[in-house]
Structure 1
Amino acid sequence: MSNYWERYAVRRISRRRLLYGSGVAGAGLAGLALAGCGDDEEAPGGTQPPAGQTPGASPTAAPTEQPKRGGEVIFHLGGSPRSLDPHFDTFPYNTALTNNVYNGLYRFTPDLAEIVTDLATALPENPDQLTWVVKIHQGVKFHNVDPANGRELTAEDVKYSIERQSTNEPGKFQHAYFFLGKLDGIDTPDKYTVVFRTKRPYAPMMSYLASPWTLIINRETVEKYGDLTQHAVGTGPFIFKEWQKDVHMKAERNPDYWKQGLPYVDRVTWLFATDPDTAATMFIQKQVHAVIVSQPQLDRVRSARKDANYKAVPSQFWRQMRMPPTTKDQPYQPPFSDPRFRQAVVQAVNPEQVLDLVYAGDGVRAFGPILPIYEYWALPEELPEHKFDLANAKKLMQAAGVTSFRGPMIWATNPQADQIGEILKQQLAQIGVEVELQPMELAAYYNQTYSYKYTFSHHVPLNNPDPDENLSSYFGRNSTYYKHYNEEIFDLIDQQSQELDRERRRALVLEAQRKIVLDFPMKFMFTTNLHEFTDPAVKGWFYHTDLYDGRIETLWLDL
């Protein structure tokens, strides 16, 4: 693991740039570095062959290959977005499109090892711990379509976008926790300078500025249509053309893109298919250029497409079994109000059995809110009170005075998720908890999830490089994706986000996770491996480690 923090200390003196406490080093990831790009430099397009690829097959163009222009690249997506608004949606089906229609200030490199510039000309200047001065490129234009009509992007657009993203409207702006309550103000002293002022030191600031959800939108489009549910006008490499729900999305090359020479392909199409076997067939029959499959489809795809580029990686999406969300005004109701009952439910669930039966063991266990792929921040082992222990679960049910309980369990339906629901039902039945299985279509499920009113669910959340997102967005004071009311946990999460010393921050992160686990809001289960394939014609690009980053401006087709 590279020692980013030694390099940071040197740069702190030589460049007078202060980047506090956000280290994202993890298993398989280099220590986070931050690299500024000049006007003509681009973020890497995945030029290093990843571990685990098919021998002899390179997912990206060799350095000597000359990119070719033209053609249409076609991707498979496992579902349709709920909205085209990057400030609302939470699905990678959204960012597949929006990361190509819009730009952000910064981006992570595909391996999450560095933060590089996008609309920003350089890394922020930090005259003090609370001030972040960002310069943006001059001459960047919105797409030459109504209502933007090719006007220049300015610092006011950055300010408008971040303030809109931070709107405190639960269920509407899903990424508000990035900056809501954290910023003291945003100033625009000139057309190309944005000054962020935080209320207190904020360790994850750069990670959130580089998030694929922190995109700079067009104000006129919001004002014309009221929202961005079905409309997308940005400054990115592709111009949005069409979204036919549950069928496809389409975009075309932006001829006026401000990054000279990019993109290479003329058109992009994303085809939707929710069934994993259908997705595998689409790739096998060469209907799409790229697909991600899980273990049940792996052998079939590898056998039929020996020519394909292939990489296997642990998913940043993982499985958890949740109990009811709680807020100050919506506390646990009996029997959930008794922590012994919640612990009994947790200890009755056997994640290893689920992983073995559904995915043939193709994955790794999770012990808390942060996955083992981020080794530095994750709990090193499972706490005894969280481990599968059917005998103890039965004792806890008896101690709580609960002989039986019946309630519904919801989830987003697909073949593997449906199997998981059946197995969880059988496991919980052994302690007298009868689960009524209620699989739901994807959009309906997420609408229910974000109402924060359900009894049980099994869910696939996201993990990100900075620990704050894995804590704040699910268990924090302004959480978005889940609600668990515990002021002591809130305080710990707030403290770690303000701690600039990396070791002290790590101690707070670990303590917060232990308290979350031992409050028994859910069973932390496992993450599976993703099996990523591209057609050999695809050059200059491979899937990012963060699947929310769908940018393909460097992709070209060798046809």
Structure 2
Amino acid sequence: MSRGGGSQTRAARPLSRRAVLGAGMLLGGSAAFALACGGKTRTGQVGGTAEGQAGRLAPVTTGVPVPGAGQQPKRGGTFTTVEGPPRSLDPHFDTFPANTIVTNNVYNALLTFNADLTAIETELAEAMPEQPDPVTYIFKLRKGVKFHDVPPANGREMVAADVKYSIERQSTNDPGKYQHAYYFVNRIARIETPDDYTVKFVLNKPYAPFISYIASPWTLVILRELVEQDGDLTKRAVGTGPFIFEEWQKDVQHRLRRNPNYWKKDQFGNQLPYVDRLIIKIITDPNAVQAQFLGGDLDAAGIQFTFVEEVKRRLPKANYRAQPSQFWRQMRTAPYDGEKYPHRKPYNDIRVRQALVQAVNKKEVLDIVFSGDGVVVKGPILPIYPMWELKEDPVKYDPAESKKLLEAAGFPNGFEDEMIFDNSAGEIPNNVAEVLKNQLAKIGVRVTLRGMERTAYYNKTYAYDYNLSHHVPLNQPDPDENLSSYFGRNSTFYKWGNREIWDLIDKQAETIDTTERQKIVHEVQRKICLDYPMSFIYTPNLHFFTQARVKGWFYPNDYYNGRRETVWIDPTA
């Protein structure tokens, strides 16, 4: 890595695309994909169809100025947005944007991705790390960064020991609890803190995703005293970020207030953030979200595709953009690791798994549930990352062969089972479940649907205690996150005990050369698909709106990036 400068008052410096490529951790071609889709990608444009895909995929938008760019920001006011309910406020436990929309505003990270995922920028690190050899990264920290002036931090300075503690806690090898441990577990040999402003990471081997994981919205510097006082970070949050956490009213809202001692400034030298309060309403009903946005009670919201044209018609001055979702749909069979979690019958028979996966008509699911507003996918990595995605789907839709496979496996009349899913987000998950149920019924698999409240569903999912589910996972810029976390030896979100797949996932993570890594990533995806753990179905488009009065910010390409420090309100707009 090249050295970089940057003081506490300067804008964060990005890691260039060239430097990213040199580090062996290509961001996934977001800019290239925007160009490949053709035409301009500006706010307000939905975009066209990605070539070779079934469905309509909105372009990945890069380099687009946010509303109010270049204007002198106005201070004051309240920014009100919306999200679902988090399971906790602990960034090391949770996995949903309902967490990061709070925690990314309370905490900071060493590094962070920019809004369109084309570069990595410094945050608590004053420069990109020095790298004297392939396994050593040395970060110099900004001086004078203070934790919030509330108990138990009381405004004390953030130092290297806080970074070390945070990464070590995140790396706790307790799958199902510490959800992002796979970033670093068995990868970091040691973390050294020679002084209060220096953190030295020594890895066991070269590790291509390291910088990407350091820049993840989940890799935040937390407050040790709060963990020791509360036992975890489930209910409170105290960090160094732009907003101070005040309260979490369950199923109602989160309230945060401006941090008057925040260390970061904008390009004009103004201290961030601009707004006095950040309110995050907790709403899961898409009808209610649409109604509150139309009524002016929400400043920003993701709107369900069925309501988009109505919102555009009634609020023509609102800012709008569609973009591909990182949250997509899978139909999963029973997880296993061959050790703690045995492979349940009949899913330990590859013929049964193949029969189920080949019975899923992906395009039909997308067309029925979303009217084609999205794209079918070919494997574990989405087409928004074209360098890493498979160009052809190794699995073909073939219900006739599925019936033959079930008969060969001893199920000439099919079988019965239960499919669980999170039904907390309106009618879409229920619709997906019904379509899958009907498709499986055509090969004799009779499914009972069990919709569950979100927390109960995820508790069961992360206990790996189910036979069938349909699930919304994430995709992130580095391919390792889309492989290791589901199919690797230290996976968290799913378990798959194929050792050959484990070895290939490890190999791609340790391959720094991007061309060679790409070959391995493609190979391991094909092997995963043809082991038939699940059907990789579709990803929808997301439709984001902000009111005309909202300036300085728009939804980033990474929906996990919950930061709102640059938003300001123009009451005259």
User: TM-score, normalised on structure 1?
Assistant: 0.91
AA of the residue aligned to 1:347: Q
From 380, 386, 399, the equivalent of 1:390 is: 399
Question: 2:381: which partner in 1?
Answer: 370
> Deviation of residue 294 (structure 1)?
2.7
CA contact (8 A) 1:326 1:485 kept: yes
AA of the residue aligned to 1:52: Q
Question: 2:418: which partner in 1?
Answer: 408
Report the secondary structure of 2:541's partner residue.
strand
1:23 aligns with 2:32: no
CA contact (8 A) 1:59 1:538 kept: no
1:152 aligns with 2:157: yes
From 460, 469, 477, the equivalent of 1:457 is: 469
Give per-residue Cα distances to partners, 1:372-397, cap 9 Å, x unaligned: 110000101111xx221111111211
1:270 aligns with 2:296: no
Give per-residue Cα distances to partners, 1:52-84, cap 9 Å, x unaligned: 269xxx97244441100000000011x111000
CA contact (8 A) 2:125 2:140 kept: yes
AA of the residue aligned to 1:307: K
Question: 2:118: which partner in 1?
Answer: 113
From 412, 420, 431, the equivalent of 2:432 is: 420
Equivalent-residue separation in structure 1 for 2:344 and 2:299 (angstroms) = 50
Equivalences for 1:234-249 in 2 at 5 Å? 234-249=239-254
> Deviation of residue 28 (structure 1)?
4.4
Report the secondary structure of 1:243's partner residue.
strand
Give per-residue Cα distances to partners, 1:325-358, cap 9 Å, x unaligned: 0111333233212111111100111111111111
CA contact (8 A) 1:541 1:554 kept: yes
Question: 2:77: which partner in 1?
Answer: 71
Equivalent-residue separation in structure 2 for 1:126 and 1:27 (angstroms) = 26
CA shift in 2, pair 1:61/1:309, >3 Å:
closer
From 320, 334, 346, the equivalent of 1:324 is: 334
Question: 1:430: which partner in 2?
Answer: 442
Equivalent-residue separation in structure 2 for 1:491 and 1:236 (angstroms) = 39
From 359, 382, 389, the equivalent of 1:348 is: 359
Report the secondary structure of 2:327's partner residue.
coil
CA contact (8 A) 2:175 2:491 kept: no
Equivalences for 1:31-110 in 2 at 5 Å? 49-50=42-43, 52=45, 60-77=66-83, 79-110=84-115
> Which of 303-312 and 188-197 deviates more?
303-312
Kindly, what percent of the aligned residue pairs are identical? 54
CA contact (8 A) 2:44 2:320 kept: no
1:226 aligns with 2:231: yes
Give per-residue Cα distances to partners, 1:486-519, cap 9 Å, x unaligned: 1000000000000011111011101110110000
From 159, 181, 186, the equivalent of 2:186 is: 181
CA shift in 2, pair 1:83/1:514, >3 Å:
same
Report the secondary structure of 1:126's partner residue.
strand
Runs of 4+ residues deviating >3 angstroms = 27-31, 48-51, 61-64
CA contact (8 A) 1:182 1:202 kept: yes
Question: 1:212: which partner in 2?
Answer: 217
AA of the residue aligned to 2:403: K
Equivalent-residue separation in structure 2 for 1:356 and 1:171 (angstroms) = 34
Report the secondary structure of 2:515's partner residue.
helix
Aligned length: 525
Equivalent-residue separation in structure 2 for 1:425 and 1:443 (angstroms) = 23
AA of the residue aligned to 1:20: A
Question: 1:443: which partner in 2?
Answer: 455
> Deviation of residue 30 (structure 1)?
7.3
Equivalent-residue separation in structure 2 for 1:490 and 1:230 (angstroms) = 36
> Which of 323-332 and 304-313 deviates more?
323-332
Equivalent-residue separation in structure 1 for 2:174 and 2:210 (angstroms) = 21
CA shift in 2, pair 1:379/1:88, >3 Å:
same
Question: 2:528: which partner in 1?
Answer: 516
* Two-structure CA RMSD over aligned residues (Å): 1.7
CA contact (8 A) 1:309 1:534 kept: yes
> Deviation of residue 398 (structure 1)?
1.7
CA contact (8 A) 2:378 2:393 kept: yes
Unaligned runs of 5+ in 2: 1-15, 35-40, 48-63, 266-270
CA shift in 2, pair 1:475/1:51, >3 Å:
farther
CA contact (8 A) 1:60 1:539 kept: yes
CA contact (8 A) 1:53 1:309 kept: no
Equivalent-residue separation in structure 1 for 2:257 and 2:33 (angstroms) = 35
1:302 aligns with 2:312: yes
CA contact (8 A) 2:160 2:198 kept: yes
AA of the residue aligned to 2:98: Y
Equivalent-residue separation in structure 2 for 1:162 and 1:19 (angstroms) = 24
Equivalent-residue separation in structure 2 for 1:317 and 1:59 (angstroms) = 25
Question: 2:499: which partner in 1?
Answer: 487
AA of the residue aligned to 1:154: V
AA of the residue aligned to 1:274: T
AA of the residue aligned to 2:328: W
From 372, 376, 390, the equivalent of 1:379 is: 390
Equivalent-residue separation in structure 1 for 2:90 and 2:174 (angstroms) = 14
Equivalent-residue separation in structure 2 for 1:190 and 1:508 (angstroms) = 39
Equivalent-residue separation in structure 2 for 1:169 and 1:29 (angstroms) = 38
Equivalent-residue separation in structure 2 for 1:317 and 1:550 (angstroms) = 15
Give per-residue Cα distances to partners, 1:224-266, cap 9 Å, x unaligned: 1111000100000000001011110010000000114100000
1:172 aligns with 2:177: yes
Equivalent-residue separation in structure 2 for 1:29 and 1:209 (angstroms) = 24
From 92, 115, 139, the equivalent of 1:134 is: 139
CA shift in 2, pair 1:417/1:152, >3 Å:
same
CA contact (8 A) 1:312 1:532 kept: yes
AA of the residue aligned to 1:311: R
AA of the residue aligned to 1:22: M
CA shift in 2, pair 1:155/1:286, >3 Å:
same
Question: 1:15: which partner in 2?
Answer: none
Equivalent-residue separation in structure 2 for 1:313 and 1:376 (angstroms) = 18
